Structures are given as structure tokens and as C-alpha cells.
Amino acid sequence: MTGSLPFLVPTTADEWQTWFRDSGLTIVGVIVGLVIVRVVVARALGRIIRSASLRAARARHEDLDLVKRRVDTLMATIGWLFNIVLALLGTAIVLDQLGVQVSALIAGVGVAGIAIGLGAQTLIKDVINGLFILVEGQYAVGDVVRVAGVSGQVIEITPRRTVLRDLNGDVHIIPNSEITVATNMTQGFSRVNLNVLVAYEEDLGRVITVINEECGRLAADRPDDFLSTPAVLRVDRLADDGVELKVVGDVKAFKQWELMGELRRRLKDRFDREGIEIPYRHEVQLPPRVRATAPPPAAAVEEVPPEG
């Protein structure tokens, strides 16, 4: 039996020995060789890419943890593509050893591939968009992003899809072709962006001083989390209920939500001590009898001009 003959299932011990000697050892060798190539290339390529990325990150003073996450994401994707290439190569070699005419098979697959390709345009878009996301480093595993109208932490990226987990623990699987705008909330650094509402009757100069003092105390208590001390930027809005003051400051990635919650708590306690009013809606419920006998508002009383 040779590799060029059509594959026949051995039925006797001698036939099995002949097949194993002629083709079996070759198939085993191919599989073992491909596994070795996969491991060696993956390790070598991983070291080269990690080393180059970390050197570039140190030169640009970037966050090393963020760079490592991106490299891990890129390596996982490269490994995924490399596995597909090796699997196709190994399949072709094994089929050739089994006597299957690979060239004829490829020609047949090529004809069928045209029809399949017409129906797989979305898949092609997924892969192309996914490769751009990975190569450009738009986001990586671990980042908190908003894509295709969904927000959450990235738990997996492949050339075909992005998987997010939101605050409820729900997992969202998003085809990469659906991602037209990607908002990364944890790339490099994050920002405290907080609006504080106070009553119109309050002295804004005094309120701004109190807010800036509490921001400074929080930054002093947790210096490792802040890149700049938050402060009142401006009067952001004259709302129906009061005056909104905008507080901003740069912090380390992933820390903005925790620090905004702590700042809100401290401002509430300080406002209570200082007697600064945080406006809120008041509702007064009147008993039915009181509502029925209450005089109409002054604006509703119609004036009747005197006669003559």
C-alpha cells in the first residue's frame, strides 16, 4: 500500500503492519511535528512581541499592566489563527497519506467556497473588523468598554466576536461587524466626572471651597489612585431644582467609579455639617376634605370690573 493509492481499511494483522509502516508513522510524525511547531513558535513569538511591547511601553511611560493585557489578547488571537493554519496543513498532509487526491479536493472546495463565501459576508466582516480592533489596540481583555450599545468588561476577544460581562453579571456576545464605535473607559487613565447639585440660596463661593477641600482630602488619603486632584471646573447647569457644579480630576484606570462614590459620601457628610442644602423634591399630601374646602389660588380668581 502506498500513499498514492486510494485508502482501504486494513483487515488483517499484516495489512495493519504494512499500513502503519507506510502511512501510519508518517501521520503520527506529522501530528507530533505540528504540535511541536505550535508550541515552539508560540513561545518564541510570544517572547518577541512581549519584549518589544514592554520596551515601547516603558519608553512612552505607558501602564505596563495595560500593555500586558493587550499583548495577551493579541497572542491569543494569533494563536487562534495559527491553530487554524496548522489544522488545515495537517489535514491536507494526512489526506494525502490516505490516498485522497488533495488537489482535486481543493478544486472542489474552491467551487463550493464561492457559494459559501457569498453567504458568509457577515463572517468576513466580523474577522476583518476584529483584526483591526486587535492590531490598533482599541481595547483588550479586562477593559471596560461600550460597544454596539452595550457596556461591560471585556472577557474575550476573537477575530469574530467580542464578549462583555456587565454589572448584572450578564454576558453579551457581540459580532465584531456590529461594532462601529468603541468607547474604552479604562485606557491609560480614567476621570472623575461628577455633578454636584446645591440649592439656589447657597453661596456658591463657599460651596466651591468646601467641595475643593473634600477633594483635596480624598486625594491626600489615597495618593496612589489619583493622577490629579479633583476640583470644581465650572457651574455646569442652572437646573430646575438647583445649581449643578461639575467636579473633574484624573485617576488611575478602573478607579473612577469607586472614587466618585467615596467623594459623594464625603460631600454629603460635609454638607450636613456645614448646613449646605442638597435640594430634593417635596410633596405635600392634603386630606380630601382640605382639598375640597381650600380657596383657589390667587391666579385663578377672576377679577370682575365694576359696573358703570
Angle, vertex CA 196, rays to CA 193 and CA 200, nearest 5: 150
**Cα–Cα distance measured from residue 62 to residue 189, given in angstroms and rounded to the nearest whole number:** 10
Q: Highest-confidence range of 11-15, 69-73, 216-220, by mean pLDDT?
A: 216-220
Q: Is 122 helix (H, G, I), strand (E, B) or coil?
A: helix
- The pLDDT tens digits for 134-150 are 777 788 888 999 999 99
- Where are the strands (E) in the chain, listed by range? 144-147, 150-157, 161-165, 171-175, 182-184, 189-198, 231-238, 243-252
Instruction: Looking at the structure, tell me whether residues 108 and 18 fall in a common domain.
Output: yes
Total domains, the chain: 3
Assess contact for 269 and 262: CB atoms under 8 A.
no
- The pLDDT tens digits for 289-303 are 655 565 655 554 445
Instruction: Looking at the structure, tell me whether residues 255 and 159 fall in a common domain.
Output: no
**Cα–Cα distance measured from residue 140 to residue 130, given in angstroms and rounded to the nearest whole number:** 12
**Cα–Cα distance measured from residue 246 to residue 100, given in angstroms and rounded to the nearest whole number:** 71
Using the structure block, give the residue that is written with the C-alpha cell 462601529. 180
Residue 154 maps to a domain: yes
Instruction: Looking at the structure, tell me whether residues 156 and 174 fall in a common domain.
Output: yes
Percent of the chain surpassing pLDDT 90: 40
Around Cβ 35, how many Cβ atoms within 10 Å?
12
Residue 295 maps to a domain: no
Instruction: Looking at the structure, tell me whether residues 22 and 104 fall in a common domain.
Output: yes
**Cα–Cα distance measured from residue 27 to residue 294, given in angstroms and rounded to the nearest whole number:** 97
- The pLDDT tens digits for 228-251 are 999 999 999 999 889 999 999 999
- Over residues 275-282, the mean pLDDT reads 86
Q: Is residue 273 over pLDDT 70?
A: yes
Residue 46 maps to a domain: yes
Residue 291 maps to a domain: no
Q: Residue 250's pLDDT is what? A: 96
CA distance to 69, 208, 210, 248, 257, per residue, from 263 (Å) = 29, 14, 12, 11, 10
Instruction: Looking at the structure, tell me whether residues 216 and 175 fall in a common domain.
Output: no
- The pLDDT tens digits for 8-22 are 555 676 666 676 666
Beta bridge mates, 171: 165
Mean pLDDT of the chain: 80
The band of 1, judged by pLDDT with boundaries at 50, 70 and 90, is very low
Q: Which residues contact 64 (CB under 8 A, 6 or more apart)?
A: 54, 57, 58
Q: Residue 35's pLDDT is what? A: 84
Q: Residue 300's pLDDT is what? A: 47
Instruction: Looking at the structure, tell me whether residues 42 and 86 fall in a common domain.
Output: yes
Instruction: Looking at the structure, tell me whether residues 160 and 197 fall in a common domain.
Output: no
Q: Residue 100's pLDDT is what? A: 66
CATH number at residue 159: 2.30.30.60
Residue 279 maps to a domain: no
Extract the C-alpha cell encoding 195: 455633578
Q: Is residue 258 over pLDDT 80?
A: yes
- 304/210: higher pLDDT: 210
| pTM over cut 0.85 | no
- Over residues 185-193, the mean pLDDT reads 90
Q: Residue 290's pLDDT is what? A: 57
Position 259: which residue type?
L
Q: Is residue 117 over pLDDT 70?
A: no
R_g over Cα of the chain? 34
Residue 22 maps to a domain: yes
Q: Is residue 170 over pLDDT 90?
A: yes
Q: Is 164 helix (H, G, I), strand (E, B) or coil?
A: strand
Residue 254 maps to a domain: yes
Instruction: Looking at the structure, tell me whether residues 18 and 115 fall in a common domain.
Output: yes
**255: closest CA among 223, 231, 233, 232?**
223
Q: Residue 180's pLDDT is what? A: 92
Instruction: Looking at the structure, tell me whether residues 223 and 142 fall in a common domain.
Output: no
Q: What is the DSSP string of 185-253?
A: SSSSEEEEEEEEEE-TTS-HHHHHHHHHHHHHHHHHH-GGGBSS--EEEEEEEE-SSSEEEEEEEEEET
Q: Residue 245's pLDDT is what? A: 97
Instruction: Looking at the structure, tell me whether residues 56 and 90 fall in a common domain.
Output: yes
Around Cβ 163, how many Cβ atoms within 10 Å?
16
Instruction: Looking at the structure, tell me whether residues 17 and 106 fall in a common domain.
Output: yes
CATH number at residue 204: 3.30.70.100
Extract the C-alpha cell encoding 242: 438647583
Tell me the residue range of the domain where 168 lies: 138-184
Q: Is residue 308 over pLDDT 50?
A: no
Instruction: Looking at the structure, tell me whether residues 216 and 167 fall in a common domain.
Output: no
